Structure 1
């Protein structure tokens, strides 16, 4: 690509030309600014998971899950758009840093509005924070369009597409409540998802770095797993303080730790994703919405399971077990599909992940017989066995489609 550079020597300059980065650049790693940017999303993810836990504990399962899915889309989509843009156009000059700061402020505003979405269905604050982030992103794309001749057509498509959809989000605030509000939400989600496919078609592909993208997704996975650990620890600490260390608390703690460690190991087994085509890249990027949202929901489900086992929740033991089992199963199933689509280490063993997901779901249904703690421990063991079977199959020489 003729109009690209490696980005060397530009860190913190007053103003630099926003040319495309070299997609083949060696040793491309996440920058300190990207890592700081991710930390603001810890707050947003934590707020979403906490409110999901409260909704589950109060028995508002349907509305709680719907609100969680909607809020998490805004969190994930804003993070994903910045991540892919930064992989292609990270100049790290002063305007770039200030616009990133503006996006970080938008994340915190969005996080402040999460509770209102769950309690009142009020998206006003969330939309304000989201639009702030997206306006900063539009400005970044316009900078890229001015400076990067080869990527101008795609950058202008991104800027115009994002701008039009933001007008839709603002207009949606006046939509009548009920089914119409959710219909307009789904229409706007489809429009958001369509913008990258429209902007990158033909010869307009932006110069993102495949290895850098894979690393960024891996780092965010660790951040979300950290939220699961924190949520589980908080719930366990509260239970121990209230009633002491019971068998149910101990089993839940052990099972939750096994789940986190096992899912982490499965995610990072194999080579980096091979994102050679736009279709593969979109499959990888979009599929992680389910991975990230489900991982964060495991923490909320674990808290709900503990509350149910201690009789502090308006939730049956079976529902509490499924609150953990369903997100774990979703992670396993989607990872199997993503690894197959991107030819990474687990691709040849997707049936193992599917089998593990089915066992986890059965254990969730059996929670009344096993107890909430026993069910969570069983799920942790099931994920561990799934991981062990995958590793053994890999070592035995069966195909891993790397």
Structure 2
């Protein structure tokens, strides 16, 4: 560096690797603004999932959501890890980050067409804008940090090749569109492992990475609350307060609070190796996607309770239960892997997820609102049981 502390914006700094043991490393204001732009795209994806599920288009809804959310998550993840290693916070760095923000907004604008017409043109344009900016950042790191050049050049080359594949995929006919999507996803996921295998890995900061993932989880949970609140307001304006509406609102709030508590209970994640870090990072695709899908599910439940959805109550309940169960069964092994959280026993988590799924078949008995509220109670009970077991083990140790 040129001697100025990070946070003091200068025209130009030499890009050098950040110290992975740097004390008091926290997310920057630029990273937080970056996250807010990305959560706009998350909101669009969740909103389109809600509308497609409410219309009963379950298969296309899930496929479109998985594809769009991958583009959002992968671009966010790549910037987050690059910034952890090479954040110079100078003018070129900020401008390239701004370009990525513009790219995700373009992507967000294309989400409705991707869901409604299976047209990913605008989504790909936005994605490529973000990735071109990322390639430029990696090339800058390669030019200015010779010690890490082999790794950073691999990132730049791998990312560039895969982007050409995404562009070519726009002309893939019929079933080839699905085949090429899976191939390109596998290629994207392989680039970091290939690049980091050079023996000179990037100097990402474990504490900074764990904080970045936690903050994005909070932002996505906030989007869930906003979406559910909007749905409640719409129902209140149209039909007024009802028992079902009240129970869904309370159950949704308990679910969000329970998921937040589960994620942030216990010590910070210990990302001790590249393998552990990549597992943590990759699995968060399901963590983030399931959290956002909970919001879509709650809105579907509100639609079904007011007879505005073209699907039965048990299907609406499943729209809430499935993402909650996915969150539980994915996060529990991640907490064990990274020695974080407070998972007392894996069977407790599995049992909680199973009961949540079973409750989706009880609207005929409990009502849809009662089923959603019961899911919130089960998540709270799962958390309490795991905390009790973990505390008992800690006392014995």
TM-score by length of 2: 0.97
Counterpart Cα distance in 2 of 1:64 and 1:100: 31
Alignment CA distance shift 1:400-1:9 (3 Å): farther
Q: Which residue of 2 aligns with 1:203?
A: 199
Q: Identify which of 271, 274, 278 aligns with 1:275.
A: 271
Is the alpha carbon distance of 1:257 and 1:187 closer, same or farther for their aligned partners in structure 2, counting shifts above 3 Å? Answer: same
* Distance in 1 of aligned mates of 2:396 and 2:363: 34
1:100: which partner in 2?
A: 97
Which residue of the other structure, out of 63, 66, 69, is the alignment partner of 1:69?
66
Runs of 4+ in 1 over 3 A off after TM superposition: 4-7, 398-401
Question: Map of 1:1-400 to 2, 5 A cutoff?
Answer: 8-9=5-6, 11-177=8-174, 179-398=175-394
Question: What are the Cα deviations for residues 14-47 of structure 1, in whole angstroms up to 9, with x where unaligned?
Answer: 0101100000001000000000111101210110
SS at match of 1:151: helix
Provide the C-alpha distance between the structure 2 equivalents of 1:348 and 1:199, rounded to a whole number of angstroms. Answer: 36
What per-residue deviation string (whole Å, max 9, x for no partner) do you get for residues 362-384 of structure 1?
Answer: 10122332221111100000001
Cα deviation code 1:280-303 (max 9, x no counterpart):
111100000000000000010001
Instruction: Supply the distance in 1 between the matched residues of 2:274 and 2:50 (Cα, whole angstroms).
Output: 36
CA RMSD after TM alignment: 1.6
The verdict on how the C-alpha distance between 1:6 and 1:186 changes in structure 2, with shifts beyond 3 A counting, is farther
Local SS of the residue matching 2:22: coil
Count of residue pairs the alignment pairs up:
397
> What SS does the aligned partner of 1:122 have?
coil
8 Å CA contact retained: 1:347, 1:400: no
**1:6 Cα offset (Å):** 9.7
- Tell me how far 1:9 sits from its aligned partner: 4.6
Q: CA deviation at 1:346?
A: 2.8
Instruction: Encode CA deviations 1:292-334: one digit per residue, 9 max, x unaligned.
Output: 0000000100010111111111011110000000000000000
- Which stretch of the first structure deviates more once superposed, 271-280 or 15-24? 271-280
Deviation of 1:77 after TM superposition, in Å, equals 0.3
Q: Secondary structure at the match of 1:365?
A: coil
Distance (whole Å) between structure 2 residues aligned to residue 182 and residue 378 of structure 1: 38
Tell whether the 8 Å contact from 1:236 to 1:306 is kept in structure 2 after alignment.
yes
Tell whether the 8 Å contact from 1:6 to 1:22 is kept in structure 2 after alignment: no
Contact 1:340–1:350 under 8 Å retained in 2: no
**Quick one: distance in 1 between partners of 2:341 and 2:233?**
37
